Amino acid sequence: MIDGQCRWSRLSLLAAELRGSALHGDARISGITHDSRQVRADWIFGAIRGSRSDGHNYALDAIARGAGALMVDHLLDVDVPQLLVPSVREGIGPAASVLFGRPSSKLEIVGITGTNGKTTTAYLLEHVFETAGWKAGLMGTVETRLAGRGTPSVLTTPEAPDLQRSLARMVAANIKAVAMEVSSHALDQHRVDGTTFRVGVFTNLTGEHLDYHGTIEHYYYSKSKLFTPDRCESAVVCIDDEWGRRLAHQAQVPTITFGTTPGADANLRIVGSDLAGTRLVLNWHGDEISMKTPLVGRWNALNAAAAYLTAVSLGIPEAIAIRGIATCHRVAGRFETVDLGQDFLVVVDYAHTPESLAELLGTARELTAPGGAVHVVVGARGGRDRFKRPLIGRVAASSADHVIFTADSPGDENPAHIASEMLAGTLGLARPLPEVEPDRRAAIRMACLRARPGDVVMIVGRGHEVTQRVGDGVIPLDDRMVAADALREAGHSAPEGLERDQQARRIAG
């Protein structure tokens, strides 16, 4: 295997590795994919049944592009060798793992799941690994990073063949440890089948992705699949919510619990949180461990604790883990400030659940000057999680002084309709109704031009994202750049070095 490429094999050898498979013909194979458009000569095409289309319908296209074999759940009337499996969705991950030389067995992989905090915890861990002198990789919502070099992500957790290919590239690049976000979709769709994790981390669980999962019970069940002996060796679980407590009881692997909840193995106390960062004390094994992180927000104390406990469980010395957490400054689109020298704070953040928004706006309130106001620009995604919209609307209207409902990525939905569902959550509040401005650029401009000294402007929901989906199209839109333009319009201008540094961090993120 060179540079993460699939090693040559035979279909018969692959069949011997997959339980319940049946071989119909044999072939030499040199690659694997689930996407017929990616097929190359002598690759095996996995015909996955999806929610919108059936991969078996693309078998002829795959063969025309050079597929040497098919993985199917029923035999097709085509003249190529076929590997018959009970479920292609469940079989393609283990098959890809075999073909790429089982890369996860050669890496120290940490899988991080939960509703909020996955991305930040992954970045903290990556930085701790690097501080320990380990060559590190990262896979998640924002990007896939290999030894500090990143490429934007399409999915939080890639499809199984792409995941195994990325892990194989990391092995080839002599990566030692990987921090990987593991989504509920990925667990439910078997994308991480064939991957083994040294540690599984659980951050929290709130109502999210119920348009896909249907119920929060199924959402939890999907997350819990990470914490089984065939997936991970040990677990680090936050027990500050009922789902974490349930998971800690049900996990089938050795587990360290943490949180502000009494009874946690590692009990957390938040000492302080301001613009300089967050300070915390972790009581573990009878010792009080003091830590700080430059990341702003009380919730980042939990992310820091998760990263610390995970790193130490992997054998990284405590002092190095503490230093790595204290020196991790950049998490793209997570409480990212836009500073052009103005006398008020402008923050772009990814908060997109009612719980994370409430935490964020609570922090914003703490950061205002006496008499200062909190402004929030917020929307909701089109085509998903409609039940959240009134809750997000209510949290925004009850926590901020000036609220503008706007478009997030509306897709095929009318932004005005989305805003009306958010407004429904504000009924009965003894506050002025939020404004509605469907044009997100205009909404951000309104908030930035309205702010006064000591205020805080929160632009939430999209964070690191640089495009917006409207109808069938995708348009460029970076909340950070739009806010910076609005501040320039208001006459603010940062020193050239500061603005250049911020732009470099945005590009790097």
Domain-by-domain residue ranges, the chain? 9-99, 103-326, 336-508
Q: Which CATH number, 3.10.20.600, 1.20.1250.20, 3.40.1390.10, 3.40.50.2020, labels domain 9-99?
A: 3.40.1390.10
Confidence at residue 500, expressed as pLDDT on a 0 to 100 scale: 41
| The pair of three-digit structure tokens given for residue 342, joined into one six-digit string | 């103005």
Q: How far is CA 331 from CA 282, 299, 505, in A?
A: 23, 14, 9
- Whole-angstrom Cα distance, residue 54 to residue 188? 17
- Whole-angstrom Cα distance, residue 364 to residue 447? 15
Confidence at residue 399, expressed as pLDDT on a 0 to 100 scale: 94
Q: Give 246-249 contacts, CB < 8 A, sequence gap 24+.
A: 246/220, 247/202, 247/220, 247/223
Residue 477, SS3?
coil
371-419 per-position pLDDT tens digit: 999 999 999 988 777 888 999 999 999 999 999 999 998 988 998 899 9
| The pair of three-digit structure tokens given for residue 360, joined into one six-digit string | 């964020």
CATH of domain 103-326: 3.40.1190.10
- Whole-angstrom Cα distance, residue 363 to residue 192? 35
- CATH fold for the domain made of 336-508: Protein-Tyrosine Phosphatase; Chain A (3.90.190)
For 42-58, the DSSP string reads TEEEE--B-SS-BGGGG
- Whole-angstrom Cα distance, residue 48 to residue 359? 40
Contact between 72 and 84 (Cβ < 8 Å): yes
CB atoms inside a 10 Å sphere around CB 270: 16
Q: Which phi and psi (to 5°) does residue 474 adopt?
A: -125, 125
Residue with tokens 């054998």: 315
Tell me 404's DSSP state: E
Beta bridge mates, 338: none
Which stretches of the chain drop beneath a pLDDT of 50? 1-2, 497-509
CB burial class (10 A; 0-12, 13-18, 19+) of residue 17? Answer: middle
- Whole-angstrom Cα distance, residue 470 to residue 479? 15
Q: How many residues does the chain have?
A: 509
CB atoms inside a 10 Å sphere around CB 24: 16
Confidence at residue 5, expressed as pLDDT on a 0 to 100 scale: 67
Confidence at residue 25, expressed as pLDDT on a 0 to 100 scale: 96
Confidence at residue 495, expressed as pLDDT on a 0 to 100 scale: 59
For 289-431, where are the alpha helices, taking DSSP H only?
299-313, 318-326, 354-367, 388-399, 415-424
78-123 per-position pLDDT tens digit: 999 999 999 999 999 999 999 999 999 999 999 999 999 999 999 9
| The pair of three-digit structure tokens given for residue 124, joined into one six-digit string | 């903290």
Beta bridge mates, 84: 22, 72
For 139-215, where are the alpha helices, taking DSSP H only?
160-172, 184-188, 210-213
